[in-house]
Amino acid sequence: MKKYDEVSVVRQLNNVDAVIGINPASKVIKVAKNSAIGNRTSGKIDFLSHYCGYHVEIVDVIQQQKERDEEIAAKKAAKKAAHKAKFAEDNTFKGITRAVDKRMRTIKRK
């Protein structure tokens, strides 16, 4: 077996695209499902899991991306609705008078 130390292996695995993330505090390694992992990377993951007490989680990246896209779309829709509601108020009599009052105050200052 090659001599490894935990810190250098974690640092090297952070540069690998197939490894999504390593959390040294909770000792969890997240690996992308259906990703190509070479022999060296596989050996380093085995070292961390067998000798250092890390746990390997295989994560479906496509599913995570879909969930993230849905979350972003929901945020955009909420922001758009809030923006629409704001402009709906500005078109009412109250909104128009407030805009005119604000404009009059700026004219008086000049």
Is residue 86's pLDDT more than 80?
no
**Residue 4: how many other CB atoms lie within 10 Å:** 15
1 domain residue, yes or no: no
Domain around 90:
70-109
Q: Which of 58-67, 76-85, 90-99 has the lowest mean pLDDT?
A: 90-99
Pairing of strands 55-59, 19-23: unpaired
33 domain residue, yes or no: yes
Total number of domains in the chain: 2
Q: Are residues 32 and 75 in the same domain?
A: no
Nearest Cα residue to 9 out of 57, 60, 43? 43
**pTM of this structure:** 0.58
Q: Tens digit of pLDDT for each residue in 46-77?
A: 999 999 999 999 998 888 788 888 889 999 99
CB 37 within 8 A of CB 21: no
64 domain residue, yes or no: no
